[in-house]
Amino acid sequence: MPPTHTIIQVAVPVPLRQHFDYKPPANLALPGLGCRVRVPFGRRQLVGVVVGVSNSTAVGPDRLKSIIEVIDTLPVLNDTMLGLLRWASGYYQFPLGEVIQAALPVALRRGAGTKVSGPLIWSSNPEIGLNELEALGRAPLQRKILQALLHSDKGLDSAELKSISSGWRSATAALERKGWVSSTEQACLQKVTTAPDTPPAPSEHQRQASTTITERLGQYGCFLLHGVTGSGKTEVYLRVISEVLQRGQQALVLVPEIGLTPQLVDRFRRRFAVPIAVLHSGLSDQERLCAWLMAAAGDAPLVLGTRSAVFTPLARPGVIIVDEEHDGSFKQQEGFRYHARDLAVVRAHREQIPIVLGSATPSLESLHNSQRQRFQLLPLPQRAGNAQLPQVHLLDLRGLPMEEGISHPLKKALAGCLERGEQSLLFLNRRGFAPVLMCYDCGWLAPCGRCDAKLTLHKARGRLRCHHCGSDTPLISHCGGCASKNLHPIGEGTQRLEDALAARFPHARILRVDRDSTSGKGSLEEILRRIHNGEADILIGTQMLSKGHDFPNVTLVGVINADQGLYGLDFRAGEHLFQRIMQVAGRAGRGDKPGQVLIQTYHPDSPYLQALKNHDYAAFAQFALHERQQTELAPYSHLVLLRAESPRSHAPLNFLHAAQQCAGKLLDQTPLPVQVMTAVASPMERRAGRYRAQLLIQSSHRSALQQFLNELLPDLEKLHLSRSVRWSVDVDPMDMF
């Protein structure tokens, strides 16, 4: 088409790998790059982001539509962030419009304004009491809300009121009209402390590490901070951040889990007298928007968040820190399947700032990068202060009697801790009461009706749940195979372990920390407070307790089932096992008291467990990397997983077999160093009522693999079979299931 007037190129949140052309809005200023606009799209109106301007278009004049509304006068995404998102769209093979949508807070995706305002908090007025409650006899919802507000010191936000009732708004409005309840705008940033703590004297290794990093401020450098558990990695972070703040710049800190956020926020607040923006999935939309905007404006010098915080714009970026860089939580497993750690490295390079990757058990990919001089390794080989690494003992279960999953040596060690007034931590990465419910007469196991998995017994609630799809049914009394009543729980979960310990140590204060016990807002913070205040003797937890927490009075860690996942189907199973157990073992002996770790296993000769026993990460890494090199797996090759799923059992494999044929023809025409494996059913073929299959593609050359994908994916989109399945591309997959 010949040149025409200015054409605005807009990325909209649809699953199409292209931008869309629009005419400028009539009588309005042209929107700049990175600004949001409202556009017609079919019968809908969508909020998109301007990604380019052109003088020509392939769209016919009669089909070219106009922008309806320019939402922003200033870009919500600057050139650097827009460039990063373009790169991520290309690398992870995901539509740019949906990548941009994932990077923006929900409120901005919906077209909300960019005015910074904190969330509303409702509270009861001081003079309100029991008389007013009694007067609400005929308004039960108002009474319920007022009662909740009277019992809350800090007031309740919209999410907490919604948990009381979905009709909270009208009831709260009625209470406000009576003058019994009022709302105030809460500050969206963490409060500024007025008396920062005095920094402790660093160890020589801490000083060397922080100096090496700060010397590179103002330029790119990737540092792998490998410190044993308790070595003071956080102190290195704090010293680097201090220098960044003194230069008037901002620091972005990424953590893998929400559970680590309160602890780090507390450390930061006690150290720095600056506002802190916190971003994670537990916030309301308004809270998240407020923190995001304050960071983008430069009003929050310190930004702390989980995975998606990697997309937070910074006005004056100074450093990026990724804590527990090995953690799989940094990988998004649905939709836009990015890895926040890897994106953070790319972002730091584009921003020309240093990035610090910290871990006691670095991922093999990061370690390999340090061996190839892409990352600079900074070791912290000793624990901070006088703390010593705990003694690790492997308990060979082949010769030990067990009772409810606990061996006699572990029970004896628990009793000793109780006598000395010390805390113990038992690690079992399996929540619920028991993983299966079995019939002793015919061997039937209670199945999930939607997955190729068994239901987990949650005894306290009298429910059977699937931990894969979330199916939830009442506890049954008869066998589904032979109708017998001889049903029994098999195996141990955290709830069963809690019951067993309560019976064995009736006077012990036991706290269970898993997804079930921490589902309420603020529940995890309350549990951690009780642990630190000495209000618990025995802690029982899943991997939620294994990451980054500092419990000075914990002197014993018991690993109930170390073999779980040791020989899993995923090639990373051994690496994940080592990292998980070494992390949880590191909770012992972090204070002045010596610690010990007891690991229950049927395979004490495993090289992974032997390395754990000796605190020998180097031996583990050498063994694991050699194994990966021999099998040509990551980090010695680059992987892509094509996934397909459908309610129809044969559709996913049929599509992937067609994809395999397309890939073969493409390689015949354009030979590339790329291997295409055979399409197979996923290890768990049926999940949440859908059948699943996968096709693995790998290459030792990342550029060749990307070139291959760029040519293959358009062909797959044209396949007739692609319409019968939901399919996706996972570049650098972390989960092979």
Q: pTM for this structure?
A: 0.86
**DSSP state for residue 259 in the 8-state scheme:** G
**Is residue 468 domain-shared with residue 499, that is, in the same domain?**
no
Strand order in the sheet with 538-541: 391-396, 596-601, 554-559, 423-427, 538-541, 510-513
User: What is the extent of the structural domain holding 477?
Assistant: 441-488
Secondary structure class of 663 (helix, strand, coil): helix
Distance CA 44, CA 49 (A): 16
Does 721 reside within a domain?
Answer: yes
Does 190 reside within a domain?
Answer: no
Does 164 reside within a domain?
Answer: yes
CATH number where 279 lies: 3.40.50.300
Question: What is the structure's pLDDT at 186?
Answer: 67
Q: Is residue 302 within 8 Å of 250, Cβ to Cβ?
A: yes
**Is residue 537 domain-shared with residue 407, that is, in the same domain?**
yes
Does 620 reside within a domain?
Answer: yes
Q: Is residue 406 within 8 Å of 500, Cβ to Cβ?
A: yes
The residue among 595, 628, 661 that closes a domain is 628
Does 191 reside within a domain?
Answer: no
- Which residues of the chain, if any, have pLDDT below 70? 1-5, 117-118, 186-195, 518-522, 546-549, 565, 591, 737
**Is residue 282 domain-shared with residue 333, that is, in the same domain?**
yes
Does 386 reside within a domain?
Answer: no
Does 197 reside within a domain?
Answer: no
Residues 6+ apart with CB under 8 A from 258: 280, 281, 282, 306, 524
And the tokens for 210?
């922080």
Residues 6+ apart with CB under 8 A from 538: 414, 418, 423, 424, 425, 426, 501, 505, 508, 509, 510, 511
And the tokens for 186?
């809460």
**DSSP state for residue 435 in the 8-state scheme:** S
Question: Looking up tokens 């068994």, which residue turns up?
Answer: 454
Does 114 reside within a domain?
Answer: no
**Is residue 240 domain-shared with residue 295, that is, in the same domain?**
yes
Alpha-helical segments (H) within 466-603: 494-504, 523-532, 573-585
CATH number where 678 lies: 3.30.70.360
Q: Is residue 475 within 8 Å of 489, Cβ to Cβ?
A: no
Can you list the pairs that 208-214 forms with residues at least 24 positions away whose Cβ atoms lie under 8 Å?
208/378, 209/236, 209/378, 209/380, 210/236, 210/239, 210/240, 210/243, 212/376, 212/378, 213/240, 213/319, 213/354, 213/356, 213/378, 214/239, 214/240, 214/243
**Is residue 574 domain-shared with residue 655, that is, in the same domain?**
no
**Is residue 499 domain-shared with residue 534, that is, in the same domain?**
yes
Distance CA 514, CA 428 (A): 10
CA 36: distance to chain centroid? 28
Backbone angles phi, psi at 483, to 5 degrees: 70, 10
Backbone angles phi, psi at 284, to 5 degrees: -75, 165
**Is residue 533 domain-shared with residue 398, that is, in the same domain?**
yes
Distance CA 687, CA 681 (A): 12
Virtual torsion, Cα 305, 311, 316, 317, nearest 10 deg: 70
**Is residue 301 domain-shared with residue 426, that is, in the same domain?**
no
Q: Which of 104, 123, 25 is nearest to 69 (CA)?
A: 25
Q: Is residue 406 within 8 Å of 556, Cβ to Cβ?
A: no
And the tokens for 688?
């949440």
Question: Looking up tokens 């995901």, which residue turns up?
Answer: 94
Report CA-CA distances (Å) from 707 to 667, 673, 674, 713, 733.
11, 11, 10, 10, 18
Report CA-CA distances (Å) from 62 to 5, 23, 28, 57, 65.
14, 11, 21, 12, 8
Distance CA 623, CA 273 (A): 46
Distance CA 313, CA 279 (A): 12
The residue among 593, 628, 663 that closes a domain is 628
List the beta bridge partners of residue 49: 11, 36
Element (H, E) at 270: helix 261-271
- Look at the chain and report how many structural domains it folds into: 6
Taken in order 414, 419, 424, 428, the sign of the CA dihedral is positive
Question: What is the structure's pLDDT at 325?
Answer: 97
The residue among 185, 219, 237 that closes a domain is 185
**Is residue 426 domain-shared with residue 536, that is, in the same domain?**
yes
List the beta bridge partners of residue 268: none
Distance CA 305, CA 692 (A): 33
Alpha-helical segments (H) within 677-724: 702-718
List the beta bridge partners of residue 697: 640, 676
**Is residue 355 domain-shared with residue 401, that is, in the same domain?**
no
CATH number where 81 lies: 3.40.1440.60
Neighbours of 45 (CB within 10 A): 12
And the tokens for 646?
């459908």
Q: Please classify residue 380 by burial: count the beta carbons closer than 10 Å to its beta carbon, then call 0-12 exposed, 13-18 middle and 19+ buried.
A: buried
Pairing of strands 406-407, 402-403: antiparallel
Secondary structure class of 308 (helix, strand, coil): helix
Distance CA 70, CA 72 (A): 6
Residues 6+ apart with CB under 8 A from 27: none
Distance CA 652, CA 658 (A): 10
Residue type present at position 519? S
Question: What is the structure's pLDDT at 548?
Answer: 61
**Is residue 238 domain-shared with residue 251, that is, in the same domain?**
yes
Q: Is residue 59 within 8 Å of 18, Cβ to Cβ?
A: no
And the tokens for 261?
């956020």
Distance CA 336, CA 92 (A): 8
671-687 per-position pLDDT tens digit: 999 999 999 999 889 99
**Is residue 136 domain-shared with residue 161, that is, in the same domain?**
yes
Can you list the pairs that 506-510 forms with residues at least 24 positions away whose Cβ atoms lie under 8 Å?
508/418, 508/537, 508/538, 509/535, 509/536, 509/537, 509/538, 510/536, 510/537, 510/538, 510/539, 510/540
